C-alpha cells in the first residue's frame, strides 16, 4: 500500500476529512484536533483586574475609535499605543491628551508590537491591525502573559485558528474576537428571545456582510494602509469576512454550547466589478498597474453551514457590488422568527409581522439588563450606533469583575475558520468541507452564556471631554 493511501485511510479513521475534502490544514492542526483540550476556556473566569491596563496595536481604520471609546470606561488605563507608522501613534496620543488623560507609551515600526507585548505593565492587548497580524499578535500577547482581544476575523487559516485555541488553553489567557455586531441592540434582543424559547427551537438563521467597499475603501489610496484589503480580495476567493453576520446567529443557535458546526459548502459568483475597476484605474494612474489584469474574488459568496443537530446557517458576503448595507440577521424557529434587514426590524410569532405596539411589548420583556444599564450611554459615546461601546464596556467589566467573557477563543476560531474553509470548498466546485471541532467534544456539555450583568456591573463611565 502506498504512503499516500495509508495517510488517507489514517485520516479517515481519525475522523479528519483533511485529505478527502482538501481542507488546507497541516499536521499541526490535524494533531491538535485529536488531542484532548488541556483546559476548557468556555466559562473560564480569569482573576479580577481592578484596573485593566491596555495596549492598542493598529491605529489606522479602527484603532483611533477604540482609543476614544476605551477612554470613557472607568478602570481602564491606556498604557501603550502602537502602529507601524509613528505619525498614527502621535495622532492617537492626541485623543488622550485632549481628554486630560495621561499620555501612553509609544511603539512603532514593523515589529513594535512585540516590544509592547513583552512589557510588564499591560493586561490586555487590543488588536486593530490588518488581518494577517491578528493571530501573530494575539498569540504573542498570550504567551507573554496578556489577554488578547482582536478585530475580526481572528485568523486567516485553519492552522491559525488552532494556534489561537492551543495558546489560550495553555496560557489560560482570554482570546476574544471583537465581534461588535453581537452587541447591537436588535441582535441582543433576539439572542435573549432565543435563549428563553420565545422563537421556539431555532432551526435556521441567516447572516451577511453585504457592504459596497469598492470606491470608498478598497480602491482608495488613502484607505487601508498599503492597500492590504484590496490585496486580500485579489489573492483569495471565498467568504473572507464572515463573522459580522455569523457571530450573532451562531450565538442564537448555541454553537459550541450544545451544538456545533458540522460541515459547510460555499459558492461564489465570478467577479464582475473589481477587475474591471482595477483595469480602468490603471489606464489612468500607474499606481494601480500592479492591481490590473488580476483574478479578483467573486462578488457574491453564499456559504451554507450544517450543524451537528441538522440545523442550517446561511452566510453571505459581498463587498463589491452596489446594494444597500445588510447583515440580514434572520433567526427562524419553530414558534417564530426575527429579521433585522431590510429595516424596520421585524418579529413574527405567527403568519404576520408584529404590530409596532406588540414589538414594544416584546422589547420591554426581552431587553437585556446590559442594554438597560449602558445602552443609552453607548449611543452617545458612539461606535456603529453604540454597539462598539457596549462590546468594549462589557469586555472591561468582565475582566474587572472576574467574569467569563461572552465570546471565547472557540467562538473566535469557529466563526473565523469559515473564511479558509469556504476557500477550500470553492476550489472543489463547492464540495462540502468538514468544520473542525475546536472544543474537542466539550460543546456537548458547555453551557450557553447569557449576556446579563452576571453580578458585575461595577464598571462605570468616566466624564471625559469628547475630542
* Per-residue pLDDT at 5: 39
Helix (H, G, I), strand (E, B) or coil at 218: helix
**Cell of residue 447, nine digits:** 453551557
β-strands 76-83, 52-57: how paired? parallel
CA distance 213 to 322: 9
DSSP 3-54: HHHHHHHHHHHTT--HHHHT----HHHHHHHHSPPSS--TT--PPP-SSEEE
Residue with cell 507609551: 105
Segment 89-141, tens digit of pLDDT: 999 999 999 999 999 999 999 999 999 999 999 999 999 999 999 999 999 99
* Per-residue pLDDT at 23: 59
Segment 56-92, tens digit of pLDDT: 999 999 999 999 999 999 999 999 999 999 999 999 9
Tally of CA atoms within 13 A in the half-sphere of 257 that contains its CB: 19
Provide mean pLDDT across the span 349-364: 96
Residue 441 has pLDDT above 90, yes or no: yes
Segment 238-289, tens digit of pLDDT: 999 999 999 999 999 999 999 999 999 999 999 999 999 999 999 999 999 9
Task: Let me know if 3 is exposed, middle or buried by CB neighbors in 10 A (0-12, 13-18, 19+).
Answer: exposed
pLDDT-based confidence at residue 15 (cuts at 50, 70, 90): very low
- The fold of the 181-369+409-444 domain, in CATH, is Dihydrodipicolinate Reductase; domain 2 (3.30.360)
Closest CA to 383 of 166, 159, 73: 73
* Per-residue pLDDT at 455: 62
Residue 451 has pLDDT above 80, yes or no: no
Closest CA to 300 of 339, 330, 273: 273
CA distance 465 to 71: 10
Closest CA to 145 of 129, 168, 113: 168
**Cell of residue 54, nine digits:** 491596555
Q: In degrees, to the nearest 5, what angle opens at C-alpha 151 toward C-alphas 147 and 152?
A: 125
> In this structure, what are the phi and psi dihedrals at residue 268, rounded to the nearest 5 degrees?
-125, 150
CA distance 444 to 233: 36
Please state, as a whole number, how many other Cβ atoms lie within 10 Å of the Cβ of residue 278. 24
* Per-residue pLDDT at 345: 97
Beta bridge partners, 57, equal 82, 127
* Per-residue pLDDT at 346: 98
Give the single-character DSSP code of 406: S
Helix (H, G, I), strand (E, B) or coil at 408: coil
Which string of b and e fits 147-170 if b means at least 16 CB within 10 Å? bbbbbbbbbbbbbbbbbbbbbbbe
Residue with cell 469583575: 401
* Per-residue pLDDT at 10: 35
Maximum Cα interatomic distance, the chain, rounded to a whole number of Å = 72
Q: Where in the chain is the domain with CATH 3.30.360.10?
A: 181-369+409-444
Residue with cell 490586555: 124
Closest CA to 178 of 40, 58, 320: 58
Segment 321-331, tens digit of pLDDT: 999 999 999 99
Amino acid at each position: 500500500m502506498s504512503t499516500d493511501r495509508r495517510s488517507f485511510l489514517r485520516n479517515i479513521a481519525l475522523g479528519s476529512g483533511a485529505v478527502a475534502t482538501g481542507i488546507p490544514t497541516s499536521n499541526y492542526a490535524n494533531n491538535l484536533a485529536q488531542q484532548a483540550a488541556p483546559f476548557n476556556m468556555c466559562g473560564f473566569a480569569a482573576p479580577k483586574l481592578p484596573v485593566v491596563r491596555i495596549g492598542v496595536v493598529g491605529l489606522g481604520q479602527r484603532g483611533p475609535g477604540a482609543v476614544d471609546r476605551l477612554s470613557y470606561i472607568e478602570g481602564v488605563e491606556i498604557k501603550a499605543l502602537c502602529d507601524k507608522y509613528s505619525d498614527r501613534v502621535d495622532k492617537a496620543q492626541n485623543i488622550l491628551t485632549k481628554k486630560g488623560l495621561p499620555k501612553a507609551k509609544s511603539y512603532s515600526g514593523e515589529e513594535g508590537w512585540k516590544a509592547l507585548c513583552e512589557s510588564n505593565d499591560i493586561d490586555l492587548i487590543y488588536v486593530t491591525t490588518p488581518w494577517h497580524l491578528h493571530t501573530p499578535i494575539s498569540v504573542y500577547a498570550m504567551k507573554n502573559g496578556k489577554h488578547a482581544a482582536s478585530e475580526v476575523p481572528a485568523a486567516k487559516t485553519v492552522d491559525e485558528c488552532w494556534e489561537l485555541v492551543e495558546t489560550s488553553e495553555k496560557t489560560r489567557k482570554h482570546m476574544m474576537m471583537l465581534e461588535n455586531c453581537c452587541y447591537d441592540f436588535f441582535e441582543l434582543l433576539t439572542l435573549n428571545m432565543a435563549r428563553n424559547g420565545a422563537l421556539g427551537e431555532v432551526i435556521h438563521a441567516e447572516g451577511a456582510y453585504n457592504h459596497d467597499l469598492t470606491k470608498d475603501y478598497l480602491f482608495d489610496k488613502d484607505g487601508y494602509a498599503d492597500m492590504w484589503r484590496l490585496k486580500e480580495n485579489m489573492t483569495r476567493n471565498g467568504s473572507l469576512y464572515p463573522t459580522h453576520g455569523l457571530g450573532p446567529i451562531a450565538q442564537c443557535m448555541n454553537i459550541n454550547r450544545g451544538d456545533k458546526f458540522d460541515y459547510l459548502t460555499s459558492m461564489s459568483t465570478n467577479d464582475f466589478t473589481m477587475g474591471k475597476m482595477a483595469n480602468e484605474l490603471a489606464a489612468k494612474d500607474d499606481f494601480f498597474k500592479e492591481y490590473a489584469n488580476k483574478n479578483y474574488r467573486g462578488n457574491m459568496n453564499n456559504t451554507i453551514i450544517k450543524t451537528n443537530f441538522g440545523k442550517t446557517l446561511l452566510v453571505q458576503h459581498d463587498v463589491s457590488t452596489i446594494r444597500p448595507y445588510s447583515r440580514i440577521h434572520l433567526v427562524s424557529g419553530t414558534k417564530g422568527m426575527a429579521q433585522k434587514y431590510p429595516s424596520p426590524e421585524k418579529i413574527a410569532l405567527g403568519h404576520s409581522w408584529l404590530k409596532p405596539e406588540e414589538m414594544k411589548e416584546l422589547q420591554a420583556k426581552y431587553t437585556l439588563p446590559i442594554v438597560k444599564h449602558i445602552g443609552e450611554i453607548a449611543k452617545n459615546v458612539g461606535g456603529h450606533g453604540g454597539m462598539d461601546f457596549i462590546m468594549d464596556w462589557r469586555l472591561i467589566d468582565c475582566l474587572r469583575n472576574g467574569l467569563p467573557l461572552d465570546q471565547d477563543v472557540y467562538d473566535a476560531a469557529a466563526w473565523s475558520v469559515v473564511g479558509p474553509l469556504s476557500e477550500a470548498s470553492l476550489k472543489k466546485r463547492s464540495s462540502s468541507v468538514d468544520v473542525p471541532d475546536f472544543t474537542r467534544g466539550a460543546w456537548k456539555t458547555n453551557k450557553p452564556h447569557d449576556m446579563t450583568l452576571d453580578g458585575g456591573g461595577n464598571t462605570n463611565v468616566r466624564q471625559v471631554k469628547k475630542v
